[in-house]
Protein backbone atom coordinates (compact mmCIF):
# COMPACT_ATOMS: atom_id res chain seq x y z
CA UNK A 1 0.00 0.00 0.00
CA UNK A 2 1.18 3.51 -0.66
CA UNK A 3 0.03 7.03 0.00
CA UNK A 4 -2.31 6.91 -3.02
CA UNK A 5 -3.67 3.41 -2.43
CA UNK A 6 -6.93 4.71 -0.98
CA UNK A 7 -8.64 4.36 2.36
CA UNK A 8 -8.50 1.20 4.43
CA UNK A 9 -11.70 0.19 6.18
CA UNK A 10 -11.28 -2.09 9.19
CA UNK A 11 -14.25 -4.13 10.31
CA UNK A 12 -13.72 -4.36 14.06
CA UNK A 13 -11.27 -1.50 14.32
CA UNK A 14 -11.59 -1.21 18.09
CA UNK A 15 -10.73 -4.86 18.65
CA UNK A 16 -7.22 -5.83 19.68
CA UNK A 17 -6.02 -6.75 16.19
CA UNK A 18 -7.80 -3.80 14.64
CA UNK A 19 -5.99 -1.44 17.01
CA UNK A 20 -2.72 -3.23 16.27
CA UNK A 21 -3.20 -2.65 12.54
CA UNK A 22 -3.88 1.04 13.08
CA UNK A 23 -0.97 1.54 15.48
CA UNK A 24 1.83 -0.65 14.14
CA UNK A 25 1.10 -1.82 10.60
CA UNK A 26 -0.88 0.56 8.41
CA UNK A 27 1.12 3.74 9.18
CA UNK A 28 4.31 1.95 8.11
CA UNK A 29 2.64 0.90 4.87
CA UNK A 30 1.87 4.52 3.97
CA UNK A 31 -1.85 4.35 4.70
CA UNK A 32 -3.14 7.79 5.60
CA UNK A 33 -6.89 7.23 5.70
CA UNK A 34 -8.36 4.58 7.99
CA UNK A 35 -12.07 4.03 8.54
CA UNK A 36 -13.77 1.57 10.86
CA UNK A 37 -17.05 -0.25 11.19
CA UNK A 38 -17.89 -1.41 14.69
CA UNK A 39 -20.73 -3.52 16.04
CA UNK A 40 -22.74 -0.43 16.88
CA UNK A 41 -22.23 1.27 13.50
CA UNK A 42 -25.72 1.68 11.99
CA UNK A 43 -26.36 -0.56 8.98
CA UNK A 44 -27.38 2.40 6.85
CA UNK A 45 -23.84 3.78 7.19
CA UNK A 46 -22.08 0.63 5.98
CA UNK A 47 -22.48 1.21 2.26
CA UNK A 48 -21.24 4.80 2.52
CA UNK A 49 -18.11 3.67 4.39
CA UNK A 50 -17.52 0.82 1.94
CA UNK A 51 -17.78 3.23 -0.98
CA UNK A 52 -14.96 5.30 0.51
CA UNK A 53 -12.62 2.32 0.91
CA UNK A 54 -10.14 0.73 -1.46
CA UNK A 55 -9.25 -2.05 0.98
CA UNK A 56 -11.42 -3.73 3.61
CA UNK A 57 -9.84 -5.77 6.41
CA UNK A 58 -12.12 -7.99 8.45
CA UNK A 59 -10.58 -8.03 11.93
CA UNK A 60 -13.56 -9.53 13.77
CA UNK A 61 -13.38 -12.55 16.13
CA UNK A 62 -13.03 -16.05 14.72
CA UNK A 63 -16.48 -17.05 15.97
CA UNK A 64 -18.83 -15.77 13.26
CA UNK A 65 -15.93 -14.67 11.03
CA UNK A 66 -17.12 -16.45 7.87
CA UNK A 67 -20.65 -15.12 8.29
CA UNK A 68 -19.40 -11.55 8.78
CA UNK A 69 -17.07 -11.84 5.78
CA UNK A 70 -19.97 -12.99 3.61
CA UNK A 71 -22.10 -10.10 4.85
CA UNK A 72 -19.34 -7.67 3.87
CA UNK A 73 -19.06 -9.22 0.42
CA UNK A 74 -22.82 -8.99 -0.04
CA UNK A 75 -22.82 -5.33 1.03
CA UNK A 76 -20.23 -4.72 -1.71
CA UNK A 77 -22.29 -6.37 -4.45
CA UNK A 78 -23.14 -3.11 -6.25
CA UNK A 79 -19.82 -1.28 -5.92
CA UNK A 80 -18.50 0.09 -9.20
CA UNK A 81 -14.82 0.55 -8.33
CA UNK A 82 -12.11 -1.95 -7.38
CA UNK A 83 -12.12 -3.18 -3.81
CA UNK A 84 -10.00 -5.81 -2.09
CA UNK A 85 -11.28 -7.77 0.88
CA UNK A 86 -8.49 -8.90 3.22
CA UNK A 87 -9.66 -11.92 5.20
CA UNK A 88 -7.23 -12.75 8.01
CA UNK A 89 -8.62 -15.51 10.28
CA UNK A 90 -6.38 -18.03 12.03
CA UNK A 91 -8.59 -20.81 10.62
CA UNK A 92 -8.82 -20.34 6.87
CA UNK A 93 -10.64 -23.19 5.12
CA UNK A 94 -14.21 -22.52 6.21
CA UNK A 95 -13.90 -18.81 5.51
CA UNK A 96 -12.43 -19.49 2.06
CA UNK A 97 -15.26 -21.86 1.12
CA UNK A 98 -18.00 -19.52 2.36
CA UNK A 99 -16.64 -16.31 0.83
CA UNK A 100 -15.72 -17.76 -2.56
CA UNK A 101 -19.27 -19.14 -2.80
CA UNK A 102 -20.67 -15.69 -1.95
CA UNK A 103 -18.42 -13.97 -4.49
CA UNK A 104 -19.50 -16.45 -7.16
CA UNK A 105 -23.15 -15.72 -6.40
CA UNK A 106 -22.94 -11.91 -6.49
CA UNK A 107 -20.58 -11.75 -9.52
CA UNK A 108 -19.23 -8.24 -8.90
CA UNK A 109 -16.27 -7.91 -11.33
CA UNK A 110 -14.67 -5.19 -9.19
CA UNK A 111 -14.58 -7.20 -5.97
CA UNK A 112 -11.59 -9.40 -5.13
CA UNK A 113 -10.50 -11.17 -1.94
CA UNK A 114 -7.22 -12.22 -0.34
CA UNK A 115 -7.14 -14.97 2.27
CA UNK A 116 -4.11 -14.57 4.51
CA UNK A 117 -3.13 -15.48 8.06
CA UNK A 118 -0.75 -12.98 9.72
CA UNK A 119 1.46 -15.10 12.02
CA UNK A 120 2.12 -12.28 14.49
CA UNK A 121 0.16 -9.85 16.57
CA UNK A 122 0.16 -7.20 19.27
CA UNK A 123 1.38 -9.62 21.96
CA UNK A 124 4.50 -10.65 20.07
CA UNK A 125 5.92 -8.45 17.36
CA UNK A 126 9.56 -7.56 17.96
CA UNK A 127 11.93 -8.25 15.09
CA UNK A 128 14.81 -8.97 17.47
CA UNK A 129 12.97 -11.81 19.23
CA UNK A 130 14.40 -15.29 19.03
CA UNK A 131 11.13 -16.48 17.49
CA UNK A 132 10.89 -13.61 14.98
CA UNK A 133 11.53 -16.00 12.10
CA UNK A 134 8.02 -17.37 12.69
CA UNK A 135 6.48 -13.97 11.83
CA UNK A 136 5.10 -14.52 8.33
CA UNK A 137 2.05 -13.87 6.22
CA UNK A 138 0.55 -17.18 5.09
CA UNK A 139 -1.34 -16.28 1.91
CA UNK A 140 -3.53 -19.31 1.25
CA UNK A 141 -5.80 -18.18 -1.60
CA UNK A 142 -7.14 -15.32 -3.68
CA UNK A 143 -10.39 -14.74 -5.53
CA UNK A 144 -10.25 -12.19 -8.35
CA UNK A 145 -13.08 -10.25 -9.86
CA UNK A 146 -13.06 -10.12 -13.67
CA UNK A 147 -12.05 -6.43 -13.64
CA UNK A 148 -9.80 -6.48 -10.59
CA UNK A 149 -6.52 -8.31 -10.90
CA UNK A 150 -4.59 -8.77 -7.65
CA UNK A 151 -1.17 -9.61 -9.07
CA UNK A 152 0.47 -6.19 -8.88
CA UNK A 153 -1.32 -5.20 -5.68
CA UNK A 154 -0.20 -8.29 -3.78
CA UNK A 155 3.35 -8.00 -5.10
CA UNK A 156 3.58 -4.43 -3.78
CA UNK A 157 2.25 -5.34 -0.34
CA UNK A 158 4.48 -8.42 -0.08
CA UNK A 159 7.49 -6.23 -0.84
CA UNK A 160 6.37 -3.57 1.66
CA UNK A 161 6.03 -6.10 4.49
CA UNK A 162 9.47 -7.46 3.75
CA UNK A 163 11.09 -4.01 3.62
CA UNK A 164 9.25 -2.41 6.55
CA UNK A 165 8.96 -5.34 8.95
CA UNK A 166 11.28 -8.08 7.60
CA UNK A 167 8.14 -10.23 7.33
CA UNK A 168 8.00 -12.65 4.43
CA UNK A 169 4.88 -13.89 2.70
CA UNK A 170 4.46 -17.48 1.57
CA UNK A 171 1.92 -18.94 -0.83
CA UNK A 172 3.05 -22.54 -0.25
CA UNK A 173 -0.13 -23.69 1.51
CA UNK A 174 -3.77 -23.78 0.50
CA UNK A 175 -6.47 -23.18 3.14
CA UNK A 176 -6.86 -26.86 4.10
CA UNK A 177 -3.11 -27.42 4.32
CA UNK A 178 -2.79 -24.28 6.43
CA UNK A 179 -5.42 -25.45 8.91
CA UNK A 180 -3.93 -28.94 9.25
CA UNK A 181 -0.36 -27.72 9.77
CA UNK A 182 -1.27 -24.93 12.18
CA UNK A 183 -3.34 -27.36 14.24
CA UNK A 184 -0.14 -29.33 14.87
CA UNK A 185 1.83 -26.25 15.95
CA UNK A 186 -0.35 -23.30 16.93
CA UNK A 187 -3.15 -25.63 18.00
CA UNK A 188 -0.82 -27.76 20.11
CA UNK A 189 0.36 -24.67 21.99
CA UNK A 190 -3.31 -23.80 22.54
CA UNK A 191 -3.82 -27.19 24.20
CA UNK A 192 -1.32 -25.96 26.77
CA UNK A 193 -3.29 -22.71 27.03
CA UNK A 194 -6.52 -24.62 27.65
CA UNK A 195 -4.86 -26.54 30.48
CA UNK A 196 -3.70 -23.24 31.99
CA UNK A 197 -7.22 -21.84 31.78
CA UNK A 198 -8.69 -24.90 33.50
CA UNK A 199 -6.07 -25.41 36.22
CA UNK A 200 -5.33 -22.32 38.39
CA UNK A 201 -2.34 -23.98 40.09
CA UNK A 202 -0.75 -24.75 36.70
CA UNK A 203 -1.62 -21.23 35.57
CA UNK A 204 0.38 -19.82 38.47
CA UNK A 205 3.41 -21.95 37.64
CA UNK A 206 3.41 -20.90 33.98
CA UNK A 207 2.99 -17.24 34.90
CA UNK A 208 6.19 -17.52 36.95
CA UNK A 209 8.23 -19.45 34.40
CA UNK A 210 7.06 -18.04 31.01
CA UNK A 211 5.34 -14.73 31.81
CA UNK A 212 5.16 -13.44 28.22
CA UNK A 213 3.46 -16.62 27.01
CA UNK A 214 1.14 -16.54 30.02
CA UNK A 215 0.15 -12.94 29.28
CA UNK A 216 -0.46 -13.63 25.59
CA UNK A 217 -2.57 -16.71 26.24
CA UNK A 218 -4.83 -14.83 28.64
CA UNK A 219 -5.01 -11.80 26.33
CA UNK A 220 -6.18 -14.12 23.53
CA UNK A 221 -8.44 -16.33 25.65
CA UNK A 222 -11.42 -16.08 23.32
CA UNK A 223 -9.42 -16.52 20.13
CA UNK A 224 -7.73 -19.62 21.55
CA UNK A 225 -10.99 -21.30 22.51
CA UNK A 226 -12.46 -20.43 19.10
CA UNK A 227 -9.42 -21.92 17.34
CA UNK A 228 -9.87 -25.15 19.30
CA UNK A 229 -13.55 -25.22 18.24
CA UNK A 230 -13.31 -24.24 14.60
CA UNK A 231 -10.13 -25.83 13.29
CA UNK A 232 -11.32 -29.14 11.85
CA UNK A 233 -7.99 -30.84 12.61
CA UNK A 234 -7.96 -30.08 16.33
CA UNK A 235 -9.83 -33.20 17.46
CA UNK A 236 -6.75 -35.35 16.86
CA UNK A 237 -4.40 -32.81 18.43
CA UNK A 238 -6.59 -32.49 21.52
CA UNK A 239 -6.77 -36.28 21.89
CA UNK A 240 -3.00 -36.70 21.58
CA UNK A 241 -2.29 -33.93 24.09
CA UNK A 242 -4.91 -35.24 26.51
CA UNK A 243 -3.34 -38.68 26.42
CA UNK A 244 0.15 -37.22 26.94
CA UNK A 245 -1.08 -35.09 29.87
CA UNK A 246 -2.76 -38.06 31.51
CA UNK A 247 0.52 -40.00 31.37
CA UNK A 248 1.97 -37.51 33.87
CA UNK A 249 0.92 -36.73 37.43
CA UNK A 250 -0.68 -33.54 36.03
CA UNK A 251 0.66 -31.46 38.88
CA UNK A 252 3.76 -29.52 37.83
CA UNK A 253 5.26 -27.19 35.26
CA UNK A 254 7.49 -30.06 34.20
CA UNK A 255 4.45 -32.27 33.67
CA UNK A 256 2.91 -29.67 31.37
CA UNK A 257 6.07 -29.36 29.28
CA UNK A 258 6.50 -33.13 29.20
CA UNK A 259 2.96 -33.54 27.88
CA UNK A 260 3.62 -30.88 25.25
CA UNK A 261 6.90 -32.52 24.18
CA UNK A 262 5.37 -36.00 23.97
CA UNK A 263 2.40 -34.74 21.95
CA UNK A 264 4.75 -32.77 19.71
CA UNK A 265 6.78 -35.91 19.03
CA UNK A 266 3.64 -37.91 18.25
CA UNK A 267 2.21 -35.26 15.92
CA UNK A 268 5.31 -33.82 14.25
CA UNK A 269 7.67 -36.80 14.49
CA UNK A 270 10.62 -34.71 15.71
CA UNK A 271 10.46 -32.51 12.61
CA UNK A 272 9.94 -28.76 12.45
CA UNK A 273 6.36 -27.89 11.40
CA UNK A 274 6.12 -26.04 8.10
CA UNK A 275 4.22 -23.24 9.86
CA UNK A 276 5.69 -22.83 13.35
CA UNK A 277 4.41 -20.12 15.66
CA UNK A 278 6.08 -18.00 18.29
CA UNK A 279 4.46 -19.71 21.27
CA UNK A 280 4.94 -23.19 19.83
CA UNK A 281 8.65 -22.41 19.48
CA UNK A 282 8.77 -20.96 22.99
CA UNK A 283 7.18 -24.09 24.46
CA UNK A 284 9.43 -26.37 22.45
CA UNK A 285 12.52 -24.58 23.78
CA UNK A 286 11.16 -24.68 27.33
CA UNK A 287 10.43 -28.40 27.04
CA UNK A 288 13.98 -29.10 25.90
CA UNK A 289 15.33 -27.06 28.80
CA UNK A 290 13.08 -28.81 31.32
CA UNK A 291 14.64 -32.18 30.55
CA UNK A 292 17.67 -31.03 32.50
CA UNK A 293 15.63 -29.82 35.46
CA UNK A 294 12.97 -31.61 37.49
CA UNK A 295 12.19 -35.25 36.67
CA UNK A 296 8.69 -35.97 35.41
CA UNK A 297 6.76 -38.68 37.21
CA UNK A 298 4.81 -40.94 34.94
CA UNK A 299 1.66 -42.70 36.01
Q: Is the pLDDT of residue 254 over 90?
A: yes
Q: Is the pLDDT of residue 132 over 70?
A: yes
pTM for this prediction: 0.92
Q: How many other CB atoms are found less than 10 A from the CB of residue 132?
A: 16
The pLDDT assigned to 131 comes to 72
Over range 56-62, report the average pLDDT: 97
Q: Is the pLDDT of residue 125 over 90?
A: no
- Cα 251 to the center of its chain, rounded Å: 31
* First-to-final CA distance of the chain: 56
Distance CA 72, CA 216 (A): 29
What is the 3-state secondary structure of the chain? CCCCCCEEEEECCCCHHHHHHHHHHHHHHCCCCEEEECCCCCHHHHHHHHHHEEEEEECCCCCCHHHHHHHHHHHCCCCCCCEEEEECCCCCHHHHHHHHHHHHHHCCCCEEEEEEEECCECCECCCCCHHHHHCEEEEEEEECECCECCHHHHHHHHHHHHHHHCCEEECCCCHHHHHHHHHHCHHHHHHHHHHHHHCHHHHHHHHHHCHHHHHHHHHCHHHHHHHHHHCCCHHHHHHHHHHHHHCECCCCHHHHHHHHHHHHHHHHCCCCCCCCCHHHHHHHHHHHHHCCCCCCCEC
pLDDT-derived band at 270, boundaries 50, 70, 90: confident
Report the percentage of the chain scoring pLDDT > 70.
93
Distance CA 263, CA 85 (A): 37
Domains of the chain (ranges, CATH numbers)? 7-172 (3.40.50.720), 178-290 (no CATH)
Q: List the single range of 125-139, 188-202, 234-248, 250-264 with lowest mean pLDDT.
A: 125-139
The string of pLDDT tens digits covering residues 202-234 is 999 999 999 999 999 999 999 999 999 999 999
The pLDDT assigned to 2 comes to 44
Over range 176-183, report the average pLDDT: 98
Q: Is the pLDDT of residue 3 over 80?
A: no
The pLDDT assigned to 4 comes to 45
Amino acid sequence: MSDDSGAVLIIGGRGEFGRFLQRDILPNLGVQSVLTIERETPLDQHVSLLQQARHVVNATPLAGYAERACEIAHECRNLQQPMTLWLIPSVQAGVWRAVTAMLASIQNPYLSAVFVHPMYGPNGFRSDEREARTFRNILTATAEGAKHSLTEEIAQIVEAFQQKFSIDTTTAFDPEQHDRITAYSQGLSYCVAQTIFERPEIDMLVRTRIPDLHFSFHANHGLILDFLRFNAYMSKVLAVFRDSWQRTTQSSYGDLLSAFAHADEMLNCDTEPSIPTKWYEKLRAAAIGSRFEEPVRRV
